[in-house]
Amino acid sequence: MNIIVCDDDREIVEAIEIYLENEGYNIFKAYNGIEVLRIIKEKEIHLVIMDIMMPEMDGIRATKRIREVLNIPVIMLSAKVEDTDKIMGLNMGADDYITKPFNPLELIARVKSQLRRFTTLGGIETKKDVFTTGGLLVDDGCKQITVDGEDIQLTPLQYKILKLLTENAGRVFSIEQIYEQVWEEKAINPENTVAVHIRKIREQIEINPKEPKYLKVVWGIGYKVEKI
């Protein structure tokens, strides 16, 4: 899930980013409403956390603009506690409101609640041929792979390996199983062949291929894509 965190206080943005990344969310940072609108045009966003009082474009006006095109959840942040701010934010289309300073656990709980409600009500179109874990997304309908919103280019065989493992995130496949399902033939000494393709995939999808976040080896058994 992609979340925008917007506040003109960069320390608050950095703190929220850490909390939410630890929960497996992909974070886009912004510091005013104009930047939020730009990111929404460029990326698929599922939720916005946004301060009310900001320069250039405040959270109220930005929320109103968001509502003209999207129904994604918006959680408003504010140092103020007056009911008028809360009412104004909700009237402009915000879904929830939290006052600074806030408890990180409360913010995480509200984010999860809004995303759960949004998904249940059909705000996010669930596709049977789209598989995700953390920031990794495999769209089998479009034959497209992205990591944290960035397109990844793989060969057809590499794509089939990653799709197989991501579709079954958390499940360990032996080298023989991977070979037979991807190459669609009997596996005869497939270790080197599969290992080379795994290495190439890691070079594309991992920040540090030597310490992979997604595509991991289970020694003596095979490989898996981590379920995040």
SS3 call for 16: helix
- Convert the pLDDT of each residue in 27-74 to its tens digit: 999 999 999 999 998 888 999 999 988 888 988 889 988 888 888 999
SS3 call for 8: coil
Dist. CA 39–CA 178, nearest whole Å: 38
Give the single-character DSSP code of 6.
E
Cα-based distances in Å from 169 to 37, 79, 222: 33, 40, 13
Dist. CA 136–CA 122, nearest whole Å: 22
- Convert the pLDDT of each residue in 69-89 to its tens digit: 888 999 998 876 555 665 666
pLDDT, residue 86, reads: 59
Dist. CA 142–CA 140, nearest whole Å: 5
Check: CB of residue 221 under 8 Å from CB of residue 174.
yes
> What is the mean predicted confidence (pLDDT) over 200-209?
95
Dist. CA 144–CA 163, nearest whole Å: 10
Considering the four listed CATH numbers 3.60.15.10, 1.10.10.10, 3.40.190.10, 2.120.10.30, the one that applies to the domain covering 130-225 is 1.10.10.10
CATH of domain 2-120: 3.40.50.2300
pLDDT, residue 80, reads: 65
> What is the mean predicted confidence (pLDDT) over 172-197?
93
Domain limits of the chain? 2-120, 130-225
